[in-house]
Every structure is written in C-alpha cells, then in structure tokens.
Amino acid sequence: MDRHLEAFLEMLAAERGAARNTLAAYRADLEDFAGFARRREGAPVTASPELLRAYLVWLTDSGLSPRTAARRLSALRQFYRFLAAEGVRADDPTEILDSPRQPSRVPKALRREEVEALLDAAARLPGKRGPLATALLELLYCSGLRASELVSLPAQALMQDSPLVMVRGKGGKERLVPISDRARRAALSLRAPKKPSKWLFPSHAASGHLTRQSLLLLAKQAALAAGLDPAKVSPHVLRHSFATHLLEGGADLRALQMLLGHADIATTQIYTRVLEERLRQIVETHHPLAEQNLAGKKPGTESPPAA
C-alpha cells in the first residue's frame, strides 16, 4: 500500500491543493486501516467490502465517535476511487458501505454581548498583545474566517482602501470576503514600515506567520479578561458566532455559504438549527391561527361583534 498511498497523497497535493495538515490526516487514517488489514492477514490494496465493513465495526467497538469513523471512511472512499481511476483496481469496495450515522450538532455561538465583552477585553491585554488580539478577533468575528485562513493572510490581502479581503481557503480555492472598517484599521495599525513582511501577522515561527496555537492562546486570554469561560471561546466559536448572528439578522443562506467558503450548502444549513426556536416563536406570535390557539380559541368560534 505504501507506493499507492504516496501516489494518492501526491495527487491530493498536486491536483486538489491539499494542505499539509490535510495530507497528514489522510496518511494517518489510511495507515490505521492498513495496520488493521495486516492483522487480518489481508492486503489494503485488494481489500474486500467485508474487510472494510469489519474495520468500521472495529472502530465503533474501540470507542471512536461516529464523526471520526465517518472521516476515516471518507479517506478510504477517496483512496479506493483513486485506485479504480488509476486502474490499480477494477472496482471500488467502498461503494456499498454506509456511512456511520452522526448526531446532529448545533454549532456553539457566543451571544452578541459576549462578543462585545471579548473584543473590549482584548484591547485591554497588556503590551503588544492588546492590539494584536484586537485585530485578530475583530477580523475573525466580522469575516467568519477559519483560523488557518486568518493567520496565513499575506500582507497584500488587506488594502488600505478596499472593503474586501482575498482569502485562500480549503483546496486552494480563493474567495472575496468583506470586512469592517473597524477590523481593517485594527489590522493595518500593526504594520511596521521598518520591518516589512509578506504576512499580515508575521512571527518567528517556522512558517513566518502567526500560528493557530498562538491565535487560540490570545482568544483564551481575552476570554479570561472578559470574565468568560475560556473553554467556550475559540477562533472556531467566533466563526460560528459570525454565521449565527448573520442568519439572525436575515442573511441569505447562499450568501453565507460563499462567505464561509463551504463547498456544499448542506454544511451551511446546520447553522439554521440554531434559529429553529426563534422561527417557532415568530410563527406562534404572528400566524393568525397560532394566535387564536395561543389564546385558547378554536378557529371559527370567535364571539360575534357587539351590536
């Protein structure tokens, strides 16, 4: 499998622009299955649907979550499709496999007043951390960027007179994202003319730009300063908050899909679940039949008007 695995990973990098972390995750998932197959005296490249099904059962029995099992099956599906396309196999053994059922998870989001408290606290962090945390958290909340997209923004992505930022997302796909004047000013204030950098948020890390770990740490520090539970605050939570608050304000789902960089609108639709209670209340409050029922009246039993 090693030879075919390397060819598969090379294809992902060259044709799909897969990031380093993505390639590492694929490698780990496929090598895990390879180890299982060898223990069953099977060969990964020639694995049967029965062997793959036994692997999924073993994952469940090992206590892995349905989400993790589904991710590994997704890696296997893509690997075997690649083998079939390359003529290494005549079939795709994953075609008849069902994906593990996953519980629907409502994205966690901060309340608007919590976001304001977080941003205010970020500005109060001592030293250089204050302006940096302010710029990072302002950009996260006003744009919905992923953490990896934010820290790797090139310096030229943010222009003095442009309301848009060019973002390179998953798979190397680019999209334009609008940002607020407040966030732009906060980010531009960090520029050091005497030490120009190709990155918007430069650092001494090997990559040359701020790491996701440093971003997470700043978010946690701002949460503590704001009196919020740091376990409930992260760049991902701010992305969820951005999406949730836009939908609450009446944003179109397709527009939100473009802003978040989702390839499939089904991924975006999960955010609508956080609005279910609000929509139910709207119907109960404004629908005429619902109003009658709430008042304890049945349709058609209204009292006649007084003479």
Q: What positions carry a catalytic annotation?
A: 146, 170, 236, 239, 262, 271
| Residues 250/107/260/15 CA torsion (nearest 10 deg) | -150
Which residue's structure tokens are 């440093």? 214
* Beta-bridge partners for 177: 165
| CA separation for the pair 42, 68 (Å, rounded) | 23
Q: Long-range pairs for 202-211 at CB < 8 Å and ≥24 separation? A: 207/152, 209/151, 209/152, 209/153, 210/136, 210/151, 211/151
Which residue's structure tokens are 């760049």? 235
Structure tokens at 156: 């030229």
SS3 for 168? strand
Which residue intervals of the chain are DSSP H helices? 2-15, 20-39, 49-61, 66-85, 112-123, 129-143, 147-151, 181-188, 212-226, 235-248, 253-260, 265-269, 276-286, 288-294
